[in-house]
Amino acid sequence: MQIDILTIFPEMFEGPFNQSIVEKAQKAGIVRIRIHDLRNFTEDRHRTVDDTPYGGGGGMVFRPEPLARALQSLISAEGPHRTIFLTPEGRPLTQRLTNHLSLEPHLILLCGHYRGIDERIRTLYVNEEVSIGDYVLSGGELPAMVLVDAIVRLLPGAIGNFESAQSDSFQEDLLDCPWYTRPRVFEGMPVPDVLVNGNHREIARWRRRQAILRTAERRPELLDREALSEMETEIPEARAITPEAPR
């Protein structure tokens, strides 16, 4: 996979992308990440990327010309692509969307700043707008880092145990189940017996049950999309927590 990121703060990506899974995936050739300074696509001596908005109002807006030059250079050079603008107005980032984007061969991430970008760039070049939450950040750099991390860990070979990524929270519209490791008893609290009895079918059933209970308690709206089996709808605890959850 190829990921290109357009930003006016390229240095922000040095730490996060040179650590952990993202770093390992780059070294292994699983993903190629390139950071582009938008100011390099300006044509004036001040390297101006923004201007005041038409109609007045506070803040500045990214000019369309540098963005168009940058996007055209990436599009013409790399072939099939998907351009994503990181903005609070975008589609909420979910595991389902992350799974979908991880199948794309080439992503271009556009990090806005100030009041945003000229609307004509959104109309002409942007394929997808993504938000990481209903709040406002200083720019699109942090959301871009979140999106890249969420995508890269799904690429085959990026983590040692690919099955682990496929069973993360939200992969089935459920939160994850509780997990335990040694010691067997910690501060008087033992590991559930089912996890040490060696019966993998019972363990899988317990984990699924716990995931449903945790989701019902903490994020019941997710159960609206979860096609629970007939057995799972008989979990009394889940029904008590979400008595009106549609099935």
- Quick: pLDDT tens for 158-182: 997 555 555 555 566 788 899 999 9
Res 115: pLDDT: 87
Residue 63 confidence (pLDDT): 96
- Residue 247 pLDDT exceeds 50: no
Rounded Cα gap, residues 220 and 66, in angstroms: 45
Average pLDDT over residues 125-137: 96
Q: What does the alpha-carbon distance between residue 83 and residue 122 come to, in Å, rounded to a whole number? A: 10
Q: How confident is the model at residue 227 (pLDDT cuts 50, 70, 90)?
A: very low
* Pairing between β-strand 82-92 and β-strand 106-111 as defined by DSSP bridges: parallel
Q: Do β-strands 82-92 and 61-62 pair in parallel, antiparallel, or remain unpaired?
A: unpaired
Q: At 232, is the pLDDT very low, low, confident or very high (cuts 50, 70, 90)?
A: low
**What's the rounded mean pLDDT across residues 49-70?**
94
Q: In the structure, what pLDDT confidence band is assigned to residue 90 with cuts at 50, 70 and 90?
A: very high
Q: By CB neighbour count within 10 A (0-12 exposed, 13-18 middle, 19+ buried), where does 69 fall?
A: middle
Q: Say if residues 168 and 220 touch (Cβ distance below 8 Å).
A: no
CA dihedral sign of residues 1, 8, 110, 80: negative
Q: Residue 152 phi/psi, 5° resolution?
A: -60, -40
pLDDT computed for residue 119 by the predictor: 96
Residue 71 has pLDDT above 70, yes or no: yes
Nearest to 246 by CA among 221, 209, 218, 215: 221
Looking at per-residue pLDDT, the higher value among 159 and 247 belongs to 159
Q: Is the pLDDT of residue 235 over 60?
A: yes
28-49: pLDDT as tens digits: 999 999 999 999 999 999 999 9
Region 141-167: mean pLDDT is: 85
Domains and CATH numbers, the chain: 2-152 (3.40.1280.10), 185-241 (1.10.1270.20)
